[in-house]
Amino acid sequence: MTNTVLCDRSTDAAIAVLTLNRPDKLNALNAELLAELDATLATLSADATVSCAILTGAGDKAFAAGADIAAMLEMTTEQARAFSEMGHRVCSRIEKAPFPVIGAINGFALGGGCEIALACDFLYASDKAKLGQPEVNLGVMPGFGGTQRLARRVGIGRARELCYTGDTVDAEEARRIGLVNAVVPHAELLTKVREQAAKIASKGRLAVAQCKRVLFSGADVPLDVANALETQSFAMLFGTKDRAEGMKAFLEKRKPAFTGT
C-alpha cells in the first residue's frame, strides 16, 4: 500500500475513519487510490469488530475533486473502460459493506469524487463543500455510477439538469435537494460525523447491517419482494444473541451490551 488511503481506528476501534490522501492533487482519484480504497474496504468488511466507517478527504479543500485528469488524458477506450469498471467496483464495495459508510464532505466532491460520495449511506457536508458531476465540461460523462446514483438520490429531473449542464451546487443547495443530509460548520464536520458514527456503533451491529442490506436490496424491486426481504432479515435476527440482549436490557431498563453475535 502507498498511503493514498489512510485508515484510522485509534479513537474507537469500532469506527474506521478512511481518508483519501492525495491533498496536493485535491485527492483526485487515480487507479492507485481506487485500488487501495477497494482493498481497505475489503479488509474492513471482513472484520466483525467494525460497526461504522467514515469516508473523508485529506486537507482543507477537497473530499475528492474528481478523477485524475492528467492520468486520463492519454487513456484508450479500453483503458477508460477498465478505469470505469474499477470505480464501479469501489462504489459497489461501499454500498455492500456490512456496516454504514458516512461521507464527510469537507470540500470539493466533483465528478468521480461525487460518485464515491453517492455510494455512501448518507452524507454530511461542510458549509464550504461543493458537489456536482461536471464531466460534460471535459467532453465525457460520469463513469463511476453517477448518472444512476444521483438520479436515485435527488430525482431524475434534477440529476439530468446537473449532468447535462455540468453545474455544481453548494452545500445548502445540496441539502435542499436531498444530496446531503446535513450541512455543518467546516471546523465541526468530522466531530459531528464521529458523533453519528458512535451512535450507530452503539446499536446492534447485526441489526444495522441487515437494515443496510434490506434498504439497498429493496430499493429497486417491487414492494412485495422488498417486504419479503425485510421479513426474512427480521426473523433471522431473532436467532441472534444481540436480539435477546437488546430486549432483555430494555425490560431491565439498562444499556444493552451488544456483541455482534
Catalytic positions, written as ranges: 115, 135
With b meaning 16 or more CB within 10 Å and e meaning fewer, what string describes 144-183? bbbbebbbebbeeebbeebbeebebbbbeebbebebbeeb
Cell of 132: 456536482
Cell of 21: 490522501
- Helix or strand run (H / E) with residue 105: strand 101-105
CB-facing half-sphere around the CA of 26: CA atoms within 13 A: 18
Report CA-CA distances (Å) from 254 to 227, 228, 245.
32, 32, 10
DSSP state for residue 145 in the 8-state scheme: S
- Do residues 33 and 4 make contact, with C-beta atoms less than 8 angstroms apart? yes
What residues contact residue 199 under an 8 Å CB cut-off, 6+ apart? Answer: none
